[in-house]
Chains A and B, each alone.
Chain A
Amino acid sequence: MKNSFIYTLVLFVSVLYSAVSIANEGKPIVVASTTQIADFARQISGDRLIVKSILAPGADPHTYQPTPNDVQMVIGADLCLENGLHLEGKNWMATLATDAGKPIITTTNGIQPLSISSGGEKVADPHAWFSPKNVAVYVNNIVKGFVQFDPDAKEEYEARATLFLQQLRVLDSWIRQQINRIPTQRRILVTTHDAFNYFCTEFKLNANNNFLSIAPVGWSTGAEVGGGMTPERRRKVVQSIKESGAPALFVETTINPKQIREIAKETGVKIGGELYSDSMGPEDSAGETYIGMMRENVILIVNALK
Protein backbone atom coordinates (compact mmCIF):
# COMPACT_ATOMS: atom_id res chain seq x y z
CA MET A 1 0.00 0.00 0.00
CA LYS A 2 2.88 2.29 0.91
CA ASN A 3 4.54 1.53 -2.44
CA SER A 4 1.31 2.27 -4.27
CA PHE A 5 1.15 5.66 -2.62
CA ILE A 6 4.75 6.40 -3.68
CA TYR A 7 4.01 5.28 -7.28
CA THR A 8 0.97 7.56 -7.36
CA LEU A 9 2.95 10.46 -6.01
CA VAL A 10 5.76 9.95 -8.55
CA LEU A 11 3.21 9.73 -11.37
CA PHE A 12 1.48 12.91 -10.18
CA VAL A 13 4.76 14.88 -9.90
CA SER A 14 5.94 13.70 -13.32
CA VAL A 15 2.65 14.76 -14.92
CA LEU A 16 2.94 18.20 -13.27
CA TYR A 17 6.55 18.54 -14.47
CA SER A 18 5.52 17.60 -17.99
CA ALA A 19 2.75 20.20 -17.90
CA VAL A 20 5.25 22.94 -16.98
CA SER A 21 7.67 21.78 -19.70
CA ILE A 22 4.87 21.74 -22.29
CA ALA A 23 3.94 25.31 -21.29
CA ASN A 24 7.45 26.53 -22.27
CA GLU A 25 7.85 24.17 -25.21
CA GLY A 26 7.66 25.79 -28.60
CA LYS A 27 8.13 29.32 -27.33
CA PRO A 28 10.68 31.26 -29.38
CA ILE A 29 13.99 31.93 -27.64
CA VAL A 30 15.68 35.33 -27.53
CA VAL A 31 19.31 35.50 -26.42
CA ALA A 32 20.68 38.83 -25.20
CA SER A 33 24.33 39.60 -24.61
CA THR A 34 23.98 41.47 -21.30
CA THR A 35 21.71 41.38 -18.27
CA GLN A 36 20.37 44.88 -18.97
CA ILE A 37 19.29 44.05 -22.51
CA ALA A 38 17.72 40.80 -21.30
CA ASP A 39 15.73 42.81 -18.75
CA PHE A 40 14.50 45.29 -21.39
CA ALA A 41 13.52 42.36 -23.63
CA ARG A 42 11.60 40.63 -20.80
CA GLN A 43 9.70 43.83 -20.02
CA ILE A 44 8.44 43.75 -23.63
CA SER A 45 8.07 40.03 -24.30
CA GLY A 46 6.30 39.02 -21.08
CA ASP A 47 5.93 35.24 -21.11
CA ARG A 48 5.42 35.09 -24.87
CA LEU A 49 9.13 34.60 -25.54
CA ILE A 50 11.87 32.97 -23.50
CA VAL A 51 14.62 35.53 -22.89
CA LYS A 52 18.09 34.38 -21.89
CA SER A 53 21.23 36.35 -21.13
CA ILE A 54 24.72 35.20 -22.06
CA LEU A 55 26.36 37.25 -19.34
CA ALA A 56 25.62 36.27 -15.77
CA PRO A 57 25.07 39.04 -13.21
CA GLY A 58 28.41 40.56 -12.29
CA ALA A 59 30.22 39.48 -15.49
CA ASP A 60 32.25 42.01 -17.48
CA PRO A 61 31.12 42.33 -21.15
CA HIS A 62 34.38 43.98 -22.25
CA THR A 63 36.60 41.02 -21.38
CA TYR A 64 34.09 38.17 -21.65
CA GLN A 65 35.17 35.02 -23.48
CA PRO A 66 32.20 33.02 -24.85
CA THR A 67 32.02 29.39 -23.75
CA PRO A 68 30.78 26.29 -25.66
CA ASN A 69 27.52 26.62 -23.67
CA ASP A 70 27.07 30.14 -25.08
CA VAL A 71 27.55 28.78 -28.60
CA GLN A 72 24.84 26.18 -27.93
CA MET A 73 22.54 28.84 -26.47
CA VAL A 74 22.85 31.00 -29.59
CA ILE A 75 22.39 27.99 -31.89
CA GLY A 76 19.09 27.35 -30.10
CA ALA A 77 17.99 30.99 -30.35
CA ASP A 78 15.45 32.47 -32.76
CA LEU A 79 16.66 36.04 -32.28
CA CYS A 80 19.75 37.65 -30.73
CA LEU A 81 20.16 41.06 -29.12
CA GLU A 82 23.40 42.96 -28.57
CA ASN A 83 24.31 46.34 -27.15
CA GLY A 84 26.79 47.22 -29.91
CA LEU A 85 29.21 50.18 -29.88
CA HIS A 86 31.88 47.56 -29.02
CA LEU A 87 30.57 46.95 -25.50
CA GLU A 88 30.90 43.25 -26.23
CA GLY A 89 34.72 43.09 -26.46
CA LYS A 90 35.89 42.03 -29.95
CA ASN A 91 32.17 41.95 -30.91
CA TRP A 92 31.70 38.50 -29.38
CA MET A 93 27.88 38.61 -29.53
CA ALA A 94 27.75 39.54 -33.22
CA THR A 95 30.31 36.84 -33.96
CA LEU A 96 28.29 34.19 -32.09
CA ALA A 97 25.09 35.16 -33.94
CA THR A 98 26.75 35.34 -37.35
CA ASP A 99 28.47 31.97 -36.87
CA ALA A 100 25.14 30.41 -35.89
CA GLY A 101 23.31 32.15 -38.77
CA LYS A 102 20.89 33.91 -36.38
CA PRO A 103 19.35 37.38 -36.83
CA ILE A 104 20.75 39.98 -34.43
CA ILE A 105 19.43 43.38 -33.36
CA THR A 106 21.86 46.09 -32.27
CA THR A 107 19.79 47.77 -29.58
CA THR A 108 21.76 51.04 -29.51
CA ASN A 109 20.93 51.86 -33.15
CA GLY A 110 19.77 55.47 -33.35
CA ILE A 111 21.47 56.62 -30.14
CA GLN A 112 23.83 59.57 -30.49
CA PRO A 113 26.87 58.09 -28.73
CA LEU A 114 29.11 60.24 -26.57
CA SER A 115 32.53 60.55 -28.06
CA ILE A 116 35.42 59.99 -25.67
CA SER A 117 38.89 61.25 -26.47
CA SER A 118 41.60 58.88 -25.37
CA GLY A 119 45.23 59.00 -26.42
CA GLY A 120 44.37 61.12 -29.45
CA GLU A 121 41.70 58.64 -30.58
CA LYS A 122 37.94 59.18 -30.52
CA VAL A 123 35.87 56.30 -29.20
CA ALA A 124 32.07 55.96 -29.02
CA ASP A 125 31.02 55.25 -25.43
CA PRO A 126 28.91 52.04 -25.31
CA HIS A 127 27.42 52.52 -21.80
CA ALA A 128 24.35 54.23 -23.22
CA TRP A 129 21.88 52.63 -20.75
CA PHE A 130 22.99 55.03 -18.03
CA SER A 131 20.59 57.56 -19.55
CA PRO A 132 16.93 56.43 -19.28
CA LYS A 133 16.25 58.43 -22.46
CA ASN A 134 18.66 56.16 -24.31
CA VAL A 135 16.95 53.13 -22.83
CA ALA A 136 13.79 54.35 -24.56
CA VAL A 137 15.73 53.92 -27.84
CA TYR A 138 16.80 50.40 -26.79
CA VAL A 139 13.14 49.61 -26.05
CA ASN A 140 11.92 50.92 -29.41
CA ASN A 141 14.58 48.89 -31.25
CA ILE A 142 13.62 45.73 -29.37
CA VAL A 143 9.91 46.28 -30.04
CA LYS A 144 10.63 46.74 -33.76
CA GLY A 145 12.66 43.53 -33.79
CA PHE A 146 10.02 41.55 -31.90
CA VAL A 147 7.21 42.83 -34.13
CA GLN A 148 9.17 41.91 -37.24
CA PHE A 149 9.80 38.45 -35.81
CA ASP A 150 6.30 37.90 -34.39
CA PRO A 151 3.85 40.35 -36.05
CA ASP A 152 0.77 38.69 -34.52
CA ALA A 153 1.73 39.98 -31.07
CA LYS A 154 2.41 43.59 -32.12
CA GLU A 155 -0.22 45.11 -29.83
CA GLU A 156 0.90 42.96 -26.92
CA TYR A 157 4.55 44.02 -27.25
CA GLU A 158 3.58 47.66 -27.70
CA ALA A 159 1.31 47.62 -24.66
CA ARG A 160 4.10 46.28 -22.44
CA ALA A 161 6.63 48.68 -23.95
CA THR A 162 4.32 51.64 -23.29
CA LEU A 163 4.20 50.75 -19.59
CA PHE A 164 7.97 50.30 -19.39
CA LEU A 165 8.57 53.61 -21.18
CA GLN A 166 6.37 55.36 -18.63
CA GLN A 167 8.38 53.76 -15.84
CA LEU A 168 11.57 55.04 -17.51
CA ARG A 169 10.12 58.53 -17.71
CA VAL A 170 9.32 58.47 -13.98
CA LEU A 171 12.78 57.02 -13.23
CA ASP A 172 14.42 59.87 -15.18
CA SER A 173 12.43 62.46 -13.27
CA TRP A 174 13.13 60.76 -9.92
CA ILE A 175 16.90 60.66 -10.57
CA ARG A 176 16.88 64.41 -11.31
CA GLN A 177 15.05 65.07 -8.03
CA GLN A 178 17.48 62.91 -6.06
CA ILE A 179 20.64 64.35 -7.63
CA ASN A 180 19.30 67.82 -6.84
CA ARG A 181 19.67 66.96 -3.16
CA ILE A 182 23.48 67.00 -3.57
CA PRO A 183 25.08 70.47 -3.33
CA THR A 184 26.38 71.34 -6.82
CA GLN A 185 30.05 71.58 -5.71
CA ARG A 186 29.85 68.03 -4.24
CA ARG A 187 28.43 66.43 -7.42
CA ILE A 188 31.66 64.60 -8.21
CA LEU A 189 31.41 61.00 -9.32
CA VAL A 190 34.64 59.00 -9.35
CA THR A 191 34.26 55.34 -10.35
CA THR A 192 36.55 52.47 -11.33
CA HIS A 193 36.03 52.68 -15.08
CA ASP A 194 34.61 55.18 -17.55
CA ALA A 195 31.08 53.75 -17.55
CA PHE A 196 29.20 56.75 -16.21
CA ASN A 197 29.66 59.36 -18.97
CA TYR A 198 25.99 59.26 -20.03
CA PHE A 199 24.89 59.42 -16.40
CA CYS A 200 27.13 62.42 -15.64
CA THR A 201 26.09 64.22 -18.84
CA GLU A 202 22.37 63.62 -18.32
CA PHE A 203 22.22 64.41 -14.61
CA LYS A 204 24.96 67.05 -14.50
CA LEU A 205 27.71 65.54 -12.39
CA ASN A 206 31.46 66.26 -12.74
CA ALA A 207 31.09 69.83 -14.02
CA ASN A 208 34.89 70.23 -13.74
CA ASN A 209 35.34 67.39 -16.25
CA ASN A 210 32.83 68.54 -18.89
CA PHE A 211 30.13 66.39 -17.25
CA LEU A 212 32.03 63.18 -18.03
CA SER A 213 33.20 60.27 -15.88
CA ILE A 214 36.28 60.50 -13.71
CA ALA A 215 37.86 57.04 -13.57
CA PRO A 216 41.34 55.49 -13.56
CA VAL A 217 40.30 52.79 -16.06
CA GLY A 218 39.14 53.83 -19.57
CA TRP A 219 35.82 53.10 -21.29
CA SER A 220 36.75 49.41 -21.54
CA THR A 221 38.41 47.14 -19.01
CA GLY A 222 39.87 45.26 -22.00
CA ALA A 223 42.76 46.10 -24.31
CA GLU A 224 40.83 48.20 -26.87
CA VAL A 225 41.98 51.69 -27.86
CA GLY A 226 41.25 53.97 -24.91
CA GLY A 227 40.62 51.03 -22.61
CA GLY A 228 42.46 49.80 -19.54
CA MET A 229 44.45 51.85 -17.04
CA THR A 230 47.57 53.83 -17.88
CA PRO A 231 49.87 55.59 -15.37
CA GLU A 232 48.86 58.88 -17.04
CA ARG A 233 45.14 58.24 -16.46
CA ARG A 234 45.78 57.24 -12.86
CA ARG A 235 47.83 60.38 -12.20
CA LYS A 236 45.11 62.60 -13.70
CA VAL A 237 42.40 60.97 -11.59
CA VAL A 238 44.38 61.40 -8.35
CA GLN A 239 45.00 65.03 -9.27
CA SER A 240 41.33 65.55 -10.13
CA ILE A 241 40.20 64.04 -6.82
CA LYS A 242 42.56 66.28 -4.86
CA GLU A 243 41.55 69.42 -6.79
CA SER A 244 37.82 68.80 -6.76
CA GLY A 245 37.58 67.57 -3.18
CA ALA A 246 35.52 64.53 -4.18
CA PRO A 247 33.62 63.40 -1.05
CA ALA A 248 33.68 59.69 -2.00
CA LEU A 249 34.90 57.19 -4.59
CA PHE A 250 32.84 54.28 -5.90
CA VAL A 251 33.78 50.72 -6.81
CA GLU A 252 31.79 48.73 -9.39
CA THR A 253 30.24 45.28 -9.12
CA THR A 254 31.86 43.98 -12.32
CA ILE A 255 35.42 45.15 -11.72
CA ASN A 256 38.12 44.28 -9.22
CA PRO A 257 38.04 47.12 -6.65
CA LYS A 258 41.79 46.98 -5.98
CA GLN A 259 42.74 50.04 -8.06
CA ILE A 260 40.07 52.35 -6.71
CA ARG A 261 40.79 51.22 -3.14
CA GLU A 262 44.47 52.08 -3.64
CA ILE A 263 43.50 55.53 -4.94
CA ALA A 264 41.13 56.02 -2.00
CA LYS A 265 43.98 55.21 0.37
CA GLU A 266 46.38 57.53 -1.47
CA THR A 267 43.96 60.47 -1.52
CA GLY A 268 42.37 59.84 1.87
CA VAL A 269 38.86 59.76 0.37
CA LYS A 270 36.29 57.21 1.59
CA ILE A 271 34.69 54.50 -0.56
CA GLY A 272 31.04 55.46 -1.06
CA GLY A 273 29.89 51.96 -2.01
CA GLU A 274 29.60 49.52 -4.88
CA LEU A 275 27.72 50.60 -8.01
CA TYR A 276 26.07 48.40 -10.62
CA SER A 277 27.70 49.33 -13.92
CA ASP A 278 28.14 46.90 -16.81
CA SER A 279 25.89 44.29 -15.27
CA MET A 280 22.81 44.22 -13.09
CA GLY A 281 22.63 42.48 -9.71
CA PRO A 282 22.02 38.78 -9.09
CA GLU A 283 18.54 37.28 -8.79
CA ASP A 284 16.71 38.39 -5.62
CA SER A 285 18.98 41.41 -5.19
CA ALA A 286 17.67 44.98 -5.37
CA GLY A 287 19.60 45.46 -8.60
CA GLU A 288 18.19 42.50 -10.50
CA THR A 289 16.22 44.80 -12.83
CA TYR A 290 17.35 47.90 -14.70
CA ILE A 291 15.08 50.19 -12.69
CA GLY A 292 16.24 48.57 -9.45
CA MET A 293 19.87 48.89 -10.46
CA MET A 294 19.55 52.59 -11.28
CA ARG A 295 17.53 53.26 -8.11
CA GLU A 296 20.13 51.60 -5.87
CA ASN A 297 23.02 53.37 -7.62
CA VAL A 298 21.37 56.77 -7.20
CA ILE A 299 20.56 56.18 -3.53
CA LEU A 300 24.17 55.16 -2.91
CA ILE A 301 25.56 58.17 -4.80
CA VAL A 302 23.26 60.66 -3.07
CA ASN A 303 23.97 59.25 0.40
CA ALA A 304 27.73 59.39 -0.16
CA LEU A 305 27.93 62.81 -1.79
CA LYS A 306 25.24 64.96 -0.14
Chain B
Amino acid sequence: MRFLLVVTIWIVIVGGLWTYISHRDAKRELIVATTPIYLALEGQFSLEITPTFSTEADPFALTTSGSNASLFEVRVNGKMLNMGALEFQRGETIRNTKVGGILTGHNEIYVNASPPLSENTLEHGIRVKFYQDDTLIVDRTVWADQGALVSGTVSFNHSQTEEASHDH
Protein backbone atom coordinates (compact mmCIF):
# COMPACT_ATOMS: atom_id res chain seq x y z
CA MET B 1 0.00 0.00 0.00
CA ARG B 2 2.79 2.36 0.99
CA PHE B 3 4.70 1.51 -2.15
CA LEU B 4 1.66 2.36 -4.27
CA LEU B 5 1.33 5.65 -2.46
CA VAL B 6 4.99 6.51 -3.15
CA VAL B 7 4.60 5.64 -6.83
CA THR B 8 1.42 7.74 -7.05
CA ILE B 9 3.11 10.76 -5.45
CA TRP B 10 6.05 10.31 -7.77
CA ILE B 11 3.83 10.17 -10.86
CA VAL B 12 1.99 13.29 -9.72
CA ILE B 13 5.26 15.21 -9.19
CA VAL B 14 6.94 14.12 -12.42
CA GLY B 15 3.71 14.38 -14.44
CA GLY B 16 3.05 17.87 -13.13
CA LEU B 17 6.57 18.96 -13.98
CA TRP B 18 6.35 17.43 -17.45
CA THR B 19 3.00 19.12 -18.12
CA TYR B 20 4.37 22.47 -16.96
CA ILE B 21 7.51 22.18 -19.15
CA SER B 22 5.52 21.05 -22.22
CA HIS B 23 3.08 23.93 -21.77
CA ARG B 24 5.90 26.45 -21.36
CA ASP B 25 7.80 25.19 -24.46
CA ALA B 26 4.62 25.13 -26.56
CA LYS B 27 4.19 28.82 -25.78
CA ARG B 28 7.76 29.52 -26.86
CA GLU B 29 7.26 27.87 -30.24
CA LEU B 30 4.58 30.43 -31.02
CA ILE B 31 7.14 33.20 -31.04
CA VAL B 32 8.24 33.62 -34.63
CA ALA B 33 11.88 34.51 -34.99
CA THR B 34 12.37 37.61 -37.06
CA THR B 35 15.37 37.27 -39.34
CA PRO B 36 16.77 40.53 -40.65
CA ILE B 37 16.79 40.71 -44.41
CA TYR B 38 20.13 41.74 -45.83
CA LEU B 39 20.63 42.94 -49.35
CA ALA B 40 24.03 42.63 -50.90
CA LEU B 41 25.31 45.99 -52.06
CA GLU B 42 26.72 46.63 -55.47
CA GLY B 43 29.74 48.82 -56.14
CA GLN B 44 33.48 48.60 -55.72
CA PHE B 45 34.56 48.10 -52.15
CA SER B 46 38.18 48.37 -51.01
CA LEU B 47 39.88 47.62 -47.72
CA GLU B 48 43.21 48.97 -46.51
CA ILE B 49 45.02 47.76 -43.41
CA THR B 50 48.13 49.38 -41.96
CA PRO B 51 49.84 47.80 -38.93
CA THR B 52 52.18 49.45 -36.43
CA PHE B 53 54.32 46.29 -36.40
CA SER B 54 55.85 43.68 -38.68
CA THR B 55 54.43 40.20 -38.38
CA GLU B 56 56.61 37.31 -37.28
CA ALA B 57 56.00 33.67 -36.40
CA ASP B 58 53.83 33.44 -33.30
CA PRO B 59 55.07 30.89 -30.74
CA PHE B 60 51.55 30.86 -29.29
CA ALA B 61 49.81 29.96 -32.55
CA LEU B 62 47.66 26.90 -32.97
CA THR B 63 49.57 24.84 -35.50
CA THR B 64 47.10 22.02 -36.00
CA SER B 65 44.83 23.69 -38.57
CA GLY B 66 47.52 23.92 -41.22
CA SER B 67 45.21 25.82 -43.57
CA ASN B 68 46.06 29.23 -42.19
CA ALA B 69 49.60 29.88 -43.36
CA SER B 70 49.12 33.64 -43.08
CA LEU B 71 50.44 35.48 -40.04
CA PHE B 72 47.35 37.63 -39.97
CA GLU B 73 43.66 37.16 -40.53
CA VAL B 74 41.07 39.49 -42.04
CA ARG B 75 37.40 38.57 -42.22
CA VAL B 76 34.55 40.55 -43.73
CA ASN B 77 31.16 39.61 -42.33
CA GLY B 78 32.61 36.34 -41.09
CA LYS B 79 34.24 35.33 -44.36
CA MET B 80 38.01 35.13 -44.69
CA LEU B 81 39.41 37.82 -46.98
CA ASN B 82 42.57 37.18 -48.95
CA MET B 83 44.70 40.30 -48.70
CA GLY B 84 47.22 39.01 -51.23
CA ALA B 85 50.06 38.76 -48.70
CA LEU B 86 50.96 36.26 -46.00
CA GLU B 87 52.77 38.77 -43.81
CA PHE B 88 53.22 42.52 -43.52
CA GLN B 89 55.80 45.09 -42.50
CA ARG B 90 55.44 47.91 -39.99
CA GLY B 91 53.71 50.90 -41.59
CA GLU B 92 53.08 49.09 -44.87
CA THR B 93 49.55 49.43 -46.26
CA ILE B 94 47.98 46.34 -47.76
CA ARG B 95 44.97 46.74 -50.03
CA ASN B 96 42.24 44.55 -51.37
CA THR B 97 40.26 46.44 -53.99
CA LYS B 98 37.67 43.75 -54.62
CA VAL B 99 35.97 43.17 -51.29
CA GLY B 100 32.71 41.26 -51.67
CA GLY B 101 29.89 40.39 -49.31
CA ILE B 102 29.07 43.90 -48.07
CA LEU B 103 25.48 44.14 -46.93
CA THR B 104 22.87 46.80 -46.37
CA GLY B 105 22.82 47.47 -42.65
CA HIS B 106 25.29 46.05 -40.17
CA ASN B 107 28.75 45.01 -41.44
CA GLU B 108 31.86 43.80 -39.66
CA ILE B 109 35.54 43.75 -40.51
CA TYR B 110 37.57 41.53 -38.20
CA VAL B 111 41.36 41.73 -38.00
CA ASN B 112 43.72 39.52 -36.01
CA ALA B 113 47.52 39.51 -35.99
CA SER B 114 50.32 38.77 -33.60
CA PRO B 115 52.86 41.51 -32.90
CA PRO B 116 56.45 40.37 -32.19
CA LEU B 117 56.96 39.16 -28.62
CA SER B 118 60.13 41.24 -28.44
CA GLU B 119 57.90 44.33 -28.68
CA ASN B 120 55.59 43.33 -25.86
CA THR B 121 56.27 46.56 -23.99
CA LEU B 122 54.64 48.52 -26.83
CA GLU B 123 50.99 48.93 -27.60
CA HIS B 124 50.27 47.92 -31.16
CA GLY B 125 47.42 48.50 -33.54
CA ILE B 126 46.10 48.01 -37.06
CA ARG B 127 44.46 50.87 -38.93
CA VAL B 128 41.46 49.75 -40.97
CA LYS B 129 40.13 51.92 -43.81
CA PHE B 130 37.19 50.85 -45.91
CA TYR B 131 36.04 52.53 -49.13
CA GLN B 132 33.08 52.33 -51.44
CA ASP B 133 34.50 53.39 -54.78
CA ASP B 134 36.58 56.41 -53.69
CA THR B 135 34.48 57.34 -50.69
CA LEU B 136 35.86 56.55 -47.25
CA ILE B 137 33.17 54.67 -45.33
CA VAL B 138 35.07 53.84 -42.16
CA ASP B 139 38.51 54.64 -40.73
CA ARG B 140 39.28 53.09 -37.37
CA THR B 141 42.27 51.58 -35.55
CA VAL B 142 42.13 48.35 -33.58
CA TRP B 143 44.48 48.62 -30.59
CA ALA B 144 45.82 45.90 -28.29
CA ASP B 145 47.32 45.94 -24.82
CA GLN B 146 51.02 45.26 -24.38
CA GLY B 147 51.88 41.70 -25.36
CA ALA B 148 48.38 40.79 -26.54
CA LEU B 149 47.17 39.86 -30.00
CA VAL B 150 45.85 42.76 -32.05
CA SER B 151 42.38 41.44 -32.50
CA GLY B 152 39.15 43.31 -32.95
CA THR B 153 36.10 44.05 -35.02
CA VAL B 154 35.33 47.26 -36.84
CA SER B 155 31.55 47.52 -37.21
CA PHE B 156 29.65 49.94 -39.38
CA ASN B 157 26.20 50.43 -40.81
CA HIS B 158 25.93 50.90 -44.50
CA SER B 159 22.80 52.01 -46.25
CA GLN B 160 21.89 51.52 -49.90
CA THR B 161 23.05 54.65 -51.69
CA GLU B 162 21.91 56.02 -55.01
CA GLU B 163 25.23 55.12 -56.64
CA ALA B 164 25.18 51.62 -55.29
CA SER B 165 21.61 50.88 -56.31
CA HIS B 166 22.05 51.82 -59.96
CA ASP B 167 23.91 49.99 -62.66
CA HIS B 168 25.85 53.00 -64.04
Binding site for B on A (CB under 8 A): 3-4, 7-8, 11-12, 132-133, 136, 139-140, 143-144, 147, 158, 161-162, 165-166, 168-170, 172-174, 176-177
The answer to whether B62 and A3 touch across the interface, beta carbons within 8 angstroms, is: no
The answer to whether B147 and A170 touch across the interface, beta carbons within 8 angstroms, is: yes
* B44 interface residue (CB < 8 Å to A): no
Further contacts, 12 of them, CB under 8 A, given A158-B65, A170-B147: A7-B6, A133-B59, A140-B62, A143-B64, A162-B62, A166-B60, A168-B60, A169-B60, A169-B147, A169-B149, A170-B148, A177-B146
Which residues 5-31 in B have Cβ within 8 Å of A in the complex? 5-6, 9-10, 13
Nearest-neighbour CB distance to chain B for A38, whole angstroms, equals 20
The answer to whether B9 and A173 touch across the interface, beta carbons within 8 angstroms, is: no
Alpha-carbon separation in the docked complex, A133 to B58 (Å): 10
- Asked whether A144 and B147 contact (CB < 8 A) given A8-B6, A8-B9, A133-B59, the answer is no
The answer to whether A172 and B117 touch across the interface, beta carbons within 8 angstroms, is: yes
The answer to whether B149 and A166 touch across the interface, beta carbons within 8 angstroms, is: yes
How many chain-B residues does the 8 Å CB contact rule pick out? 23
* B135 interface residue (CB < 8 Å to A): no
Nearest-neighbour CB distance to chain B for A14, whole angstroms, equals 11
Partner of A136, one of B10, B60, B148: B60
Partner of A176, one of B58, B61, B147: B147
Alpha-carbon separation in the docked complex, A4 to B13 (Å): 14
The answer to whether B6 and A173 touch across the interface, beta carbons within 8 angstroms, is: no
Q: Which residues of A contact B114 (CB under 8 A)?
A: 169
Partner of B2, one of A4, A158, A177: A4
What are 9 inter-chain pairs, A to B, with CB distance below 8 A? A3-B2, A140-B62, A166-B60, A166-B148, A170-B147, A173-B146, A173-B147, A174-B147, A177-B147
Alpha-carbon separation in the docked complex, A66 to B122 (Å): 48
Alpha-carbon separation in the docked complex, A136 to B60 (Å): 5
The answer to whether A140 and B2 touch across the interface, beta carbons within 8 angstroms, is: no
A143 — nearest CB in chain B belongs to which residue?
B64
Alpha-carbon separation in the docked complex, A299 to B112 (Å): 31
- Asked whether A4 and B63 contact (CB < 8 A) given A169-B149, A172-B147, A176-B120, the answer is no
Alpha-carbon separation in the docked complex, A271 to B117 (Å): 33
A145 — nearest CB in chain B belongs to which residue?
B64
Nearest-neighbour CB distance to chain A for B144, whole angstroms, equals 10
Q: Which residues of B contact A177 (CB under 8 A)?
A: 121, 146-147
Nearest-neighbour CB distance to chain B for A208, whole angstroms, equals 24
Q: Which residues of A contact B59 (CB under 8 A)?
A: 133, 136
Nearest-neighbour CB distance to chain A for B17, whole angstroms, equals 11
Nearest-neighbour CB distance to chain A for B146, whole angstroms, equals 6
Partner of A173, one of B2, B58, B65, B148: B148
The answer to whether B148 and A169 touch across the interface, beta carbons within 8 angstroms, is: yes
Alpha-carbon separation in the docked complex, A7 to B148 (Å): 57
Nearest-neighbour CB distance to chain B for A127, whole angstroms, equals 18
The answer to whether A158 and B146 touch across the interface, beta carbons within 8 angstroms, is: no
Q: Which residues of A contact B149 (CB under 8 A)?
A: 166, 169
The answer to whether B10 and A11 touch across the interface, beta carbons within 8 angstroms, is: yes
Nearest-neighbour CB distance to chain A for B145, whole angstroms, equals 8
Alpha-carbon separation in the docked complex, A12 to B23 (Å): 23
Q: Which residues of A contact B121 (CB under 8 A)?
A: 176-177
The answer to whether B9 and A158 touch across the interface, beta carbons within 8 angstroms, is: no
Nearest-neighbour CB distance to chain B for A176, whole angstroms, equals 6
Alpha-carbon separation in the docked complex, A32 to B147 (Å): 31
The answer to whether A161 and B62 touch across the interface, beta carbons within 8 angstroms, is: yes
Q: Which residues of B contact A169 (CB under 8 A)?
A: 58, 60, 114, 147-149
Which residues 135-164 in B have Cβ within 8 Å of A in the complex? 146-149
